[in-house]
Structure formats: C-alpha cells, structure tokens
Chain A
Amino acid sequence: MNKSNNKIAPAIELRDVYLSYDDKKVLDGVSFTVRKGETKIILGRSGEGKSTIVRLILGLIKPDAGRIFIDGEDITDYSEPELMRVRQKIGMVFQEGALFDSLSVYDNVAYKLHEQGLPEEIVEQEVRKMLRFVELEDAIDKMPNELSGGMRRRVGIARALIGHPQIVLFDEPTAGLDPPTARTICELAIKLRDLENVSSVFVTHEMKNLEYLTSEYAVINEKGEIVFEKEGEKLCLINTQVLILRKGKIIFSGTDEELKKTQDPYIRKFLYGK
C-alpha cells in the first residue's frame, strides 16, 4: 500500500485515529475517507477536534494510534523530509490566512514556487493566474497588514492553490467574515470541486457554508463565464458529504439530505439551534 499512489485509492483516508493531549481525548477512533473530487464538510462545535483532523492530514501532528493515508500512501510514520514531499500534493487554507507578515501578497502566493526555484517569469504568470482566480490581482503588491480579513483569506486560498494541489484543506476559512465575503470563499471551494476536480476537507461550524456547498454547483455557461446553479432536476450533488464530530467521535456521516432527516437531538440542536 505504501507509496502506491493508485487511481482508485481515496484522496484521504483516516483509519481508527486516536489522539489525546495530556489526559484529554481529542480524537476517539475517527475513520473516514475522502474520494477523489469529493468535498467532505466537517461540522462540529469549537474544540471538538475538527482542526486537529486537518493538521493530522497535513502531517503537522502525529496520531497516538491509527493510520492516515494520502492518495493511498500511508504517511503516519513519515519523517519531516518525507512529509515535505507529500505536502506538495496538498494545499491548506488556514483560519486567519496565516500569511507571512514580512512578504508581499505576490511573495506570499509565490512562496512555494520560489522554494522550488522556478524561473521568475513562470512564477509571476502562475501568481497572477491564482490571484485572478480569487479576484485579487489588484492587491499583488500589497503587504498583508494592508488587507482586510476576507482579502487575507483569499490570498491564503491563492497561496494554497499554487502548484495545483490535488487536495485542499480548509480550516474554518470563513470564521469572522461578513456574509458576502464568506459566500465568496464558499464559491471558490465550489469552483475547485466542480471545475478543477480537487478533493477537499472543509472544516466549519457555520450552517450557511453547509447550505452553499451542498446545494450549489459551478458550471461554465455558453459565454464562458462561471455560474453557480442550485442542485435540482438538472443535477444532484453526490460529491459532497457531511461529517459531524462530537467529543472526538464521528456522530454523523452522510449526505446533507440524510443530515436533515436525522432525529438525533444533538445534531438537530446543532443544525437548527433548538
């Protein structure tokens, strides 16, 4: 299985993962898979272990027990240099953007390509393309402290997408943002899913995000423009699944339709606030 990198293997797989900090159980036997081109939305209250899952997938922390597979490759026991290679396939969007303060927007987005030693003309071309994707090409020369919260997240997304990763991890990318900006971030995630066939994990606790991601899809119309349509008679979204965490355990895994039908009082309170 190691380094198999086969086409039928899921993009991400967690098998019976356990993690504790001191005496506190953070993850308690978590198992799930994310298929290629699929978006897995991880819901849960703060402190339920959602961000920990993302950090485990990226290899930033190691589980106490269980296995983690990326593209069929068991990365659980990988050393830091080995993980560096695996991380080339993954893009990560952090909660607050996590932009490098001392670098401009251009240098932040170009960071990965500069590290790979690519010629500057190719780097600039790619950076501009990514900034156009997040609609921030005008901010190319700005410093992170000149950007609003939403702009920082979008630059973070552009930085995560550079190099065309097959997997993108979103760690609460809309937390603290106004509704239109949050919507823009969700649209970017939808575009990646439907137009770029990227596998992703979208960690959130906001119901609006769930609604956008599970009910809308992106298509290119006859004018060549990207438009968002509601699922319905024309198309039923099967590439987006929901997972709910509680006290480090998965208490729900399925589609949004199944989620809406659930009678679990905790989930209903989480979804509807009562």
Chain B
Amino acid sequence: MKRFLYELQEITLLTARAFYRLKNKPLYWREIIKQMDTIGVGSLSIIFLTGFFTGAVLVLQSFQILAYYGAQSQVGRMVTFSLFRELGPVLTALMVTGRIGSAIAAELGSMVVSQQIDAMRSLGTDPIRKLVAPRIIALLITLPLLTTAANIFGIIGGGITSRYIFNLDTSIFISSVLDGVTTKNLIVSLVKPLFFGLIIGSISCYKGLSTTGGTVGVGISTTKAVVLTSVAIIITDFFLTRALQNILGIDF
C-alpha cells in the first residue's frame, strides 16, 4: 500500500511538472508532431482491425437476440452505443497501451540505463520537457482521434456483418446508427480518451524514467507499465462512466 501511494504521488508529480514546465521555452513542437505521427498514424492499422472486428462481432452476438424481440432494426443503434460509450474508448486505449505505452517505457528505460537521460540533463535539457511533455500532449491529441476512428471502423464492420450475414438493409442500419450518434455519446467518446491518454502517458513515462538495473530493468519497467496502465484504464473507466452519467444525465 505504501509503495502504491508513493508511486501514485510520483506519477502525479511527474504529470504536474510536465504541464507546469510547458510555460517555459522551448516547447518541443517537432517532438510533439513526431510523437503524434508515431502514436496516431502508426496505430491506425491496429485501430482499424480492432474497431472493425469489434463492431462486426457485436452484430454477430446481438442480432439474433434483437431479432427475437423484433428489434433487429435497432442493431446499428446498439453498436453505436456500445462503441461510443465503452468499447471504442477502452479498446483503443488498451491497444495504444500495448503498442505505445510499452514503447515509451522501453525507450525511456533504455535511455536511463545507458545514461542518456543524465547526458541530456548535463547538456542543459530538461528531460521532463523534452521527453515527457511531448508524449503526454501527443497522446491527449491523438487518442480521441483514434477512438473516433475506431468507432467509425466499428460501425462499418457492424454494417457489413448485418448486411452480408443477416441480410439487413443498409439504409435501416444507417438510420439506426444515426439515432445512436447523440451529443452525449459523442461527448463520452471524446472525454474518456483524454483521461486514458493522460494515464498512458504519465504511467509509461514514469515507469521508463524510474528504471533501474540495466537491460533486465528495462524489461521489468515495460511489463509493469503495460499492466499498470491497462488496470488503471479499466478501473478509471468505471468511475469515469459513473461521473459522466451523472454530469450528462445519461439514463439510457
């Protein structure tokens, strides 16, 4: 428990410092754009696959149940609700954690054990401003965009499944999807990734920068970063969902 509280304090302090030090120049725009390219463009293919097949399997699992109640025309709405509110943000965050969170922890960890972080500090560069802040900012910008992409790919996957496996008319599917794209759902699907992006960036950077013990330590830090971030995302999702339900007055 003591260890957990200590780590929570250090992660919070690192994140706060990253934002606080943004007020000083230079702001590493090139580094931010490079990270956005790695995180955003680089993750697009796995987000496409994840989103597409999640939407497809949602239709596979639920179409017949909905048909049992004569509500198969609502399958698009059901897919949209599931994707926008839960699966889109959470699955995107988990996929980015696996791909980017691990890479951040491994890269920063390697820099620590090979004294590159010390070298950076000795050359008068603040590693928090140069390495941590750009990664967190890039995640805050790209994760909502990736989530939106996952939602769209999911709807496409659902639409194709309902058309070619269950012979549902495409216009019916699109119409029910549009019923599901509400302002509240859009807010939820954009607010959740902001929190998840912050979690991925801060935990991965902290784990990387606190690496000790050579190359073995890098492996341990990477594993811990992925596990801790994934668990934190799932736990945060519960509380975030409850908070957004209350704030936005979502009852259905």
Q: Which residues of A are interface residues toward B (Cβ below 8 A)?
A: 55, 58, 60, 80-81, 83-85, 87-88, 90-92, 94-96, 98-101, 111-112, 115, 117, 159-160
The answer on a CB contact under 8 Å between B118 and A94 is: yes
Q: Among B110, B114, B122, which residue has its beta carbon within 8 angstroms of that of A87? A: B122
Q: Which residues of B are interface residues toward A (Cβ below 8 A)?
A: 24, 26, 110, 114-116, 118-126
The answer on a CB contact under 8 Å between A81 and B118 is: no
Q: Which residues of A contact B120 (CB under 8 A)?
A: 100
Q: How far is the CB of B217 from chain A (nearest CB, A)?
A: 16
Q: How far is the CB of A159 from chain B (nearest CB, A)?
A: 7
Q: Which residues of A contact B118 (CB under 8 A)?
A: 55, 58, 60, 92, 94, 98
**With A81-B24, A115-B26, A117-B26 as contacts: A101 and B116 at CB distance below 8 Å:** yes
Given contacts A60-B118, A84-B121, A160-B122, 7 further A-B contacts (CB under 8 A): A58-B122, A80-B121, A87-B122, A87-B123, A98-B119, A99-B116, A101-B116
Q: Among A55, A100, A112, A117, which residue has its beta carbon within 8 angstroms of that of B124? A: A112
Q: Which residues of A contact B123 (CB under 8 A)?
A: 87, 111-112, 115, 159
27 A-B contacts (beta carbon < 8 Å): A55-B118, A58-B118, A58-B121, A58-B122, A60-B122, A80-B121, A87-B123, A88-B124, A90-B122, A92-B119, A92-B122, A94-B115, A94-B118, A94-B119, A96-B114, A96-B115, A98-B114, A98-B118, A100-B119, A101-B114, A101-B116, A111-B125, A112-B123, A112-B124, A115-B124, A115-B125, A117-B26
Q: Which residues of A contact B110 (CB under 8 A)?
A: 101
**With A115-B26, A117-B26 as contacts: A95 and B115 at CB distance below 8 Å:** yes
Q: Which residues of B contact A111 (CB under 8 A)?
A: 123, 125
Name which residue of chain A comes closest to B21, CB basis: A81
Q: Which residues of B contact A92 (CB under 8 A)?
A: 118-119, 122
Q: Among A87, A99, A100, A117, which residue has its beta carbon within 8 angstroms of that of B121? A: A87
Q: How far is the CB of B130 from chain A (nearest CB, A)?
A: 9
Q: Which residues of B contact A96 (CB under 8 A)?
A: 114-115
How long is the Cα–Cα vector from A128 to B80 in the complex, in angstroms? 59
How long is the Cα–Cα vector from A112 to B122 in the complex, in angstroms? 10
How long is the Cα–Cα vector from A112 to B126 in the complex, in angstroms? 12
How long is the Cα–Cα vector from A150 to B250 in the complex, in angstroms? 65
How long is the Cα–Cα vector from A159 to B120 in the complex, in angstroms? 11
Q: List the 3 closest pairs (A to B, CB-CB), nearest first.
A: A98-B115, A98-B119, A92-B122
**With A96-B114, A98-B114, A115-B26 as contacts: A80 and B126 at CB distance below 8 Å:** yes
Q: Which residues of A contact B126 (CB under 8 A)?
A: 80-81, 84
Q: How far is the CB of A257 from chain B (nearest CB, A)?
A: 33
Q: How far is the CB of B128 from chain A (nearest CB, A)?
A: 8
How long is the Cα–Cα vector from A230 to B122 in the complex, in angstroms? 34
Q: How far is the CB of B38 from chain A (nearest CB, A)?
A: 12
The answer on a CB contact under 8 Å between A87 and B24 is: no
Q: Which residues of A contact B122 (CB under 8 A)?
A: 58, 60, 87, 90-92, 160
Q: Which residues of B contact A80 (CB under 8 A)?
A: 121, 126
Q: How far is the CB of A64 from chain B (nearest CB, A)?
A: 19
How long is the Cα–Cα vector from A101 to B116 in the complex, in angstroms? 9
Q: Which residues of A contact B124 (CB under 8 A)?
A: 84-85, 87-88, 112, 115
How long is the Cα–Cα vector from A80 to B126 in the complex, in angstroms? 8
Q: Which residues of A contact B114 (CB under 8 A)?
A: 96, 98, 101
Q: Which residues of B contact A60 (CB under 8 A)?
A: 118, 121-122
Q: How far is the CB of A87 from chain B (nearest CB, A)?
A: 5
The answer on a CB contact under 8 Å between A98 and B26 is: no
How long is the Cα–Cα vector from A111 to B124 in the complex, in angstroms? 10
Q: Which residues of A contact B125 (CB under 8 A)?
A: 84, 111, 115
How long is the Cα–Cα vector from A117 to B27 in the complex, in angstroms? 12
How long is the Cα–Cα vector from A100 to B125 in the complex, in angstroms? 13
How long is the Cα–Cα vector from A85 to B115 in the complex, in angstroms? 20
Q: How far is the CB of B119 from chain A (nearest CB, A)?
A: 4
Q: How far is the CB of B42 from chain A (nearest CB, A)?
A: 16
Name which residue of chain A comes closest to B123, CB basis: A112
Q: How far is the CB of A29 from chain B (nearest CB, A)?
A: 25
Q: How far is the CB of B121 from chain A (nearest CB, A)?
A: 6
Q: How far is the CB of B214 from chain A (nearest CB, A)?
A: 12
